[in-house]
Amino acid sequence: MDFWKTIDRPIIALAPMEDVTDTVLRTLLLGLADPESLHVVMTEFVSTDGLLHKKGRRRVIHRLHVTTEEQRLLREKQVRIVAQIWGNVPENYVKVIREIADSMEFDGVDINMGCPVPKVVRRGCCSGLIGNPSLAKEIIQAAKEASPLPVSVKTRIGLKSIATEEWIGHLMEARPAALTIHGRTQRQMSDGRADWNEIAKAARLRDALGIDLPVLGNGDVQSVEEARGKCAEYGLDGAMIGRGIFENPWLFAKEQRERSIEERLALLWQHTELFDRVWGGTKNFHLLRRYYSIYAKGFPGAADLRAQLMQTESIADVGSLLEKSG
């Protein structure tokens, strides 16, 4: 069941992003994607503690929702879907992963050891685990024993300072199914440039240890072509793309070209309609505004349209505005 061992190289993956990579956006991207340009998608990251909390569960379970339309596209394009979870209690990982394996259709589980948000790190979770390698290894081991699903890890090159080889060495002792490494420390957050030379050190360490473990890089990748180039240059098995989709929603499409006004507005409406159909009034409509700034740019009148879209409160508002804009 470990797809990481058989998937084509270089592996191109969609990064997990909170309030971004939900089933709506994944469905949209899958519909646009060339199967050769996207192999793995990840969910938003979900708290293990939250999933096991009677009241808290209602606030986070939607992050693991996969629509039938997304399931169809995943099968059609042979893309794998991985649930990303986080926390710092090994027993909670066991309970959550057993539920994921028993009642949800995921191909794997990924442990978030990379989110740099200070309040999460202070709790000893996500990037905070870089400072507690013994607990990190205990979590991986517990997760692996919970079900047959492959357990991968996404992390960074250090906490307050770079510690790539020491930290990644600890993780490799636990033998995760795959490792994705973001080329920044926790302290850097999203500042500066991702250091792919540090990511390459992880691949060389893997080779020196003789371990069969895919290593993927992450950070500042803006296209599939760039992802493939970095894999070749730094000796990696794959690359994960995150914020690049905010520059180009067609990033995984086979044809890379400038999109027309009609195409941009058609995708804007498709996104809005799908969001409304899937989430109705259960999610804040304002979440769509970050995408409106992507679609409404690069053409005459875009700034004015964008400003008006930022004031919309419903799908009806958006439909009316697009109709008026012609």
Catalytically active residues are 115
Closest CA to 106 of 212, 238, 239, 3: 3
The number of beta carbons lying within 10 Å of the beta carbon of residue 30 is 23
DSSP annotation string for 253-315: SSS--PPPHHHHHHHHHHHHHHHHHHHTTSS-GGGGHHHHHHHS-SSTTHHHHHHHHTT--SH
Q: Is 240 helix (H, G, I), strand (E, B) or coil?
A: strand
* 64-105-231-216 Cα dihedral, nearest 10 degrees: 60
> Cβ(169)–Cβ(181) under 8 Å?
no
> Cβ(240)–Cβ(15) under 8 Å?
yes
> Cβ(141)–Cβ(116) under 8 Å?
no
Which tokens hold the place of 13?
A: 């993956």
Query: Which residues are within 8 A (CB) of 6 and not within 5 positions of it... i.e. 6 or more apart?
Result: none
DSSP annotation string for 77-114: HT-EEEEEEE-S-HHHHHHHHHHHHHHS--SEEEEEE-
Residue 126 zone, left/alpha/beta (φ > 0; ψ -120 to 50; rest): left
